[in-house]
Amino acid sequence: MNVLSFTWLVKKENDGLILRDYLSEKKRVSRRLLTDLKFHGGQLLVNEEPVTVRATLQTGDKVTVVFPKEIKSDTMKAVPLPLSICYEDEHILVVHKRAGLATIPSRREPNYSLAQGILHYYELNKIASTIHIVTRLDRDTSGLVLVAKHRYAHSLLSQQQINKEIEREYVAVVEGLIKVPRGTISLPIARKSESIIERTVDYKGKEAITHYEVLDRVNNNTIVKVRLETGRTHQIRVHFSAIGFPLVGDELYGGKTELMNRQALHCYTLCFIHPFTQERLFLEADLSSDIHSLIKGTKLFT
């Protein structure tokens, strides 16, 4: 993918539209992407002739958008890492992230992250793109991560996120026995004043809503399926700790580490609409071995 371009034929119902409105309303090209096209080496063509966004379209016109070359960050070094790829096409990549691996570089580990492993994968496969992470996971949370392979896909998937159209479900193991079969935790979350990492329930914070369903109970722990309505940092961990059921292994939020040395949290399903084919994609990732060992023998996971 040396040059990313898309071509469409103008349909009768779009006759008379100016190009800017056609791209923004019919093809969901954001204002930011249009700015990139104008100032960073992109092109707008109608019938293979350069035009501006003010061009008026006619039925049968061939509209081509050539996006600027993807520029890789000078500060992010490609690192060879084994990747577990669950889905890939020319627009999208879905990987199964292992626990203990940061999604993006951090102060703690500036040179070892999933993003850097993906960058190395791109270089090996001559994919001319930079990193566009759509859904992140905490360093010690395992499971599915959605990645866009170019800026246009990233823009479309980000809009799905805003519209709450990307659905993720998690399996978590919490300390204690939750008696009610299902429930919703609605508690606002903010950064803890004395920490750059830790979050806390704070009524001056941002709205955070977590839905859960009890799957099973084992050894004074509860296995829950979790769905997020909002996506605050550490939301699942903070919410269950706040109601008295910290995640097993989550020392930061009050969990004990005798059974696991990281939070027992795994993103096991991911569902979204493919931004170009409009196909509904549903992906599932097997539980990580440490969580599987923790809950094996239950009626759900033998």
- The set of catalytic residues is 138
Give 65's contacts (C-beta < 8 A, 6+ positions apart).
5, 6, 7, 23, 27, 29, 37, 42, 43, 44, 45
Coil/strand/helix, residue 14: helix
Residue 135 neighbours by CB distance under 10 Å: 19
Coil/strand/helix, residue 280: strand
Class of residue 70 by CB neighbours under 10 A (exposed 0-12, middle 13-18, buried 19+): middle
Residue 54 neighbours by CB distance under 10 Å: 8
Classify strands 142-148 and 221-228 as parallel, antiparallel or unpaired.
Answer: unpaired
Q: Find the helix or strand (DSSP H, E) in which 171 lies.
A: strand 167-175
- Residues 120, 121, 127, 128, Cα dihedral to 10°: -20
Distance, CA of 75 to chain centre: 22
How far, in Å, CA of 216 to CA of 225, rounded?
10
Phi, psi of 26 (to 5 degrees): -95, -30
Partnered with residue 172 across adjacent β-strands are 224, 265
C-alpha closest to that of 273 among 118, 198, 164, 149: 164
How far, in Å, CA of 233 to CA of 242, rounded?
15
